Amino acid sequence: MKKATAWAPATTANVNVGFDILGYSLASVGDLITVEWDENTSGRDEIILKTLNNHTSISDQVLKNTASVSLLSMKNDLKLSGTFYLSIEKGIPVSAGLGGSAASAVGSVVALNALLEQPLTKTQLLKYALDGEQAVSGGRHKDNVVPCLMGGFNLVVPGVQPNQEDSIHPLPTPEGLASLLFTPDVAIKTSESRDQLNDNLPLKDHTKQLACSMLFMAGLYENNHEKLRNSLQDIIIEPQRGPTIPLYFEIKDYCLNQNGVVGFGISGSGSSVFIWLKNEKQLISRISEEILTMFEQNKIKTQHRLCEFDNEGAKIIGMS
């Protein structure tokens, strides 16, 4: 029996200025996915979901679980046979806008890949991870899967280059900043949240959003915190999704009036919110405490996490 364990990081998608096309990977929060492969079970050719660390909201059916769907897709495509045992230890909260389904999908294919005699490249693994993401979120969204797999900040360019389907453009990660994340205790399903979005966009909103997005790119490449701060504005999605997140606008108002805060927005489709701020201990602990007090006063449960930008993406942390 061969065994590999992969760590796959949480991710923040959209980042205010890049709905469905921007995402970055978060260090220190992730899922652990273990694949055990017994090649000697001739005649039996199956995936067995072993542990789900007591997550009742995650499907234990092979065809409905993001990690096993990805594993199945890769195993079938590469014509691998035997019994595959899959264990999932969720470190990422579920339906929280932190790319939990993407991480489990990515982790399973990265773990299986480590057991192959001729491993595939990360780019080759992408399609299998997307099969898993599609099974639970209803779409082949790359803005979580790509940064989870590749690490760093990524722009997913949807089919605008000649003869090329979606391509991936790695971007610089901001220096001197960290992400402070709050996850209020409200489950938001990405597929349901997307169904409620308005398809029509007034031209003036398009122009303003485009200007913000372009200024943001300049800010990233120049590591110019002032430009990042001015540009991190979500004109289109925030007015629609903000009200679904407890205290969203109150926390936004508070954050954007603090020196040292560079940006605030919805992580993916929520319920998590991200705060980009200077990576300074005192500032971070003061802002964390003040926001926690706001949640407490409103009797809303929340989790919070401080994450650096991760540049590695999913990786193998154990093999036997």
Toward ligand HSE, which CB reaches closer, 16 or 65?
Answer: 16
Task: Check residue 190 for interaction with ligand HSE (CB under 6 A).
Answer: yes
| Residue 49, strand partner residues | 86
Instruction: Please select the residue that binds ligand HSE; options are 134, 269, 272, 279, rule is CB under 6 A.
Output: 269
Nearer to ligand HSE, 97 or 246 (CB): 97
- Write down the catalytic residue from 133, 183, 238, 302: 133
Q: Which residue has the tokens 């790695």?
A: 170
89 is catalytic: no
Distance CA 179, CA 263 (A): 9
For residue 25, state whether it binds ligand HSE (rule: CB under 6 A). no
Quick one: 36 or 234, whose CB is closer to ligand HSE? Answer: 234
Q: Does 101 bind ligand HSE (CB under 6 A)?
A: no
The count of residues interacting with ligand HSE (CB under 6 A) is 10
Give the chain's radius of gyration (CA, Å): 20
Burial of residue 320 (CB within 10 Å: 0-12, 13-18, 19+) is exposed
Task: Give yes or no: 12 in active site.
Answer: no
Q: What are the strands, taking DSSP E only, across the chain?
A: 2-13, 22-38, 46-51, 83-89, 153-157, 167-171, 177-184, 261-266, 273-278, 302-307, 315-319
Nearer of residues 96 and 287 to ligand HSE, judged by Cβ: 96
Q: Give the binding range for ligand HSE (CB under 6 A) out of 136-144, 247-255, 294-302, 308-316.
A: 136-144
Among 2, 140, 189, 194, binds ligand HSE (CB under 6 A): 194
Q: What pairs with residue 46 in β-bridges? A: 83
Shortest separation between residue 241's beta carbon and ligand HSE, angstroms: 8
Position 268 contacts ligand HSE (CB under 6 A): yes
Across the chain, how many H-helices and E-strands are there? 10, 11
Q: Which residue is nearest to ligand HSE (CB)?
A: 141
Which of 2, 20, 211, 223 binds ligand HSE (CB under 6 A)? It is 20
C-beta closer to ligand HSE: residue 188 or 247: 188
Residue 30 binds ligand HSE (CB under 6 A): no
Q: Does 143 bind ligand HSE (CB under 6 A)?
A: yes
Residue 265 near residue 238 (C-beta atoms within 8 A):
yes
* 9 scored as a contact of ligand HSE (CB under 6 A): no
Q: At what angle do helices 66-77 and 100-114 cross, to 10 degrees?
A: 40
Q: What is the DSSP string of 235-304?
A: SSSHHHHGGGSTTHHHHHHHHHTSTTEEEEEESTTSS-EEEEEE--HHHHHHHHHHHHHHHHHTT--EEE
Q: Does 11 bind ligand HSE (CB under 6 A)?
A: no
Q: Is 141 in the site for ligand HSE (CB under 6 A)?
A: yes
Q: How far is CA 273 from the centre of its chain?
A: 12
Residues that bind ligand HSE (CB under 6 A): 13-14, 20, 141, 143-144, 190, 194, 268-269
